[in-house]
Amino acid sequence: MSDSVFSLPVRVYIEDTDAGGIVYYVNYLKFMERSRTEFLRQYGYDKPAILDGGQLLVVHRAEVDYKRSARLDDLLQVTTEIESLARTNVLFRQNIFRGNELLCAGLIRIACVSPATMKPCAMPLTMREKLAETIETDKS
């Protein structure tokens, strides 16, 4: 795994499972949200700091492939990396593994919007620059 790939361990609890004892499909998106949040936090951008800066980060698009099921008490690794970065949005590539087995793969586009208008706005330049470094590090 490259330095630009963030990994968050997630344990599956009973609250995450459905009546069949497997992780309910929407919970994979919750696991991905946690990993994206911690990925941004490591660069100094937690949710309150972003809001204090006059922006919101919202999910614009989610594309998810479910490959295998996770079960109660599984220890998962949720990986997050930046696939591409634009002035008003960022595309995250996220994968969920149990050991080396890929369970779920997602591409999640996050848009930067103004809280007042809910319309796209430019991501803070310092934030874009820090996030761009993760892409450049991976490609060098």
What is this structure's pTM?
0.91
- Measured torsion, CA atoms of residues 137, 138, 139, 140, in degrees rounded to the nearest 10: 50
CATH classification at residue 110? 3.10.129.10
Task: Please give the pLDDT value at position 52.
Answer: 77
- The residue segments making up the domain with residue 50 are 6-132
Name 105's bridge partners. Answer: 65, 95
- pLDDT bracket for residue 139 (50, 70, 90): low
Total count of domains within the chain: 1
Catalytic residue of the set 3, 16, 18, 46: 18
Is residue 18 annotated as part of the catalytic site, yes or no?
yes
Percent of the chain with pLDDT over 90: 79
For tokens 């996050």, name the residue. 110
Q: Is residue 94 part of a domain?
A: yes
Instruction: Quote the mean pLDDT of the chain.
Output: 92
Q: Which of 46 and 37 is assigned the larger pLDDT? A: 37
Task: Please give the pLDDT value at position 135.
Answer: 86
Please check whether residue 90 is in contact with residue 20, taking contact to mean a CB–CB distance below 8 angstroms. no
Computed on alpha carbons and rounded to an integer, the radius of gyration of the chain in Å comes to 16
Q: Is residue 139 part of a domain?
A: no
Give SS3 for 52: helix
Q: Is residue 75 part of a domain?
A: yes
Give residue-wise pLDDT tens across range 40-59: 999 888 777 777 778 899 99
